[in-house]
A and B are shown apart, each in its own frame.
Chain A
């Protein structure tokens, strides 16, 4: 079975540029999560969707960050304009929300460097 697929795996760009990260969740999973991981702040939940609807975006750092989930098989996280402090590994995860709490399945991540 295919896992969570993220692209690109690596992104290096100059500050001020728009960055778009992409995620395809596992088929049949109805919840999708975006995380940011840094040495200083650890693994932070940015936003999560349930049935394509954003449920909690309290972790989104500021208005430069936006996320969408136009359908059950695709989500994007966009940073515009990007800044050096946005450099981090961004993970997407998915699971099947139901009566019991299900483990989250993570993608390989996007390693983002803003110069």
Chain B
């Protein structure tokens, strides 16, 4: 069945460093969504990518969708302590399948 793999599982950075998480699907996706979950909170939708090769930016966050629509990445420039949390990709083939998430911690 459809699988969505996300790496790394954990990432510890110094405040100001960049951060990237990668998402790979076993099948071609119709779209990919990204969510952020703060510690103790619930997943909150960030963005959706639909087109092959699409790149979207939200302030310091850059999201990319691969040309083959099977992989995606989220890059955060100059992390801040407010970026702490777990970032999930979720791929839509038939139903939406969530990756395992990347837990980001930021040391001030």
Residue of B nearest to A44 (CB): B98
Interface pair A56/B45, CB less than 8 Å apart:
no
Interface string of B16-44 (1 = CB under 8 A from A): 00000000000000110100000001111
Using a CB–CB cutoff of 8 Å, the interface residues on chain B facing chain A are 30-31, 33, 41-45, 48, 88, 92, 95-101
A25 at the interface (CB under 8 A from B): no
Interface pair B30/A106, CB less than 8 Å apart:
no
Interface pair B42/A101, CB less than 8 Å apart:
no
Interface pair A43/B48, CB less than 8 Å apart:
no
11 additional A-B pairs beyond A43-B88, A103-B33, A104-B43, beta carbons within 8 Å, are A42-B100, A43-B43, A45-B98, A48-B95, A93-B43, A101-B30, A103-B48, A104-B45, A104-B96, A106-B44, A107-B42
Interface pair A42/B30, CB less than 8 Å apart:
no
Report B-chain residues with C-beta under 8 Å of the C-beta of A78.
Answer: none
Residue of B nearest to A111 (CB): B40
| Alpha-carbon distance A101/B30, docked complex (angstroms) | 9
Interface pair B42/A108, CB less than 8 Å apart:
yes
Residue of A nearest to B48 (CB): A103
How many of A's residues come within 8 Å of B, CB to CB? 16
Interface pair A45/B43, CB less than 8 Å apart:
no
B-contacting residues, A68-111, CB 8 Å: 91, 93, 101, 103-109
| Alpha-carbon distance A109/B38, docked complex (angstroms) | 13
Report B-chain residues with C-beta under 8 Å of the C-beta of A103.
Answer: 33, 45, 48
Residue of B nearest to A102 (CB): B48
Interface pair B98/A42, CB less than 8 Å apart:
yes
- Some 15 contacts from A to B, beta carbons below 8 A apart, are A42-B98, A43-B88, A43-B101, A45-B95, A45-B96, A48-B95, A91-B42, A93-B43, A101-B33, A101-B48, A103-B48, A104-B33, A104-B43, A106-B42, A108-B41
Report A-chain residues with C-beta under 8 Å of the C-beta of B99.
Answer: 42
**What is the minimal beta-carbon distance from A90 to any residue of chain B, in angstroms?**
11
**What is the minimal beta-carbon distance from A40 to any residue of chain B, in angstroms?**
10
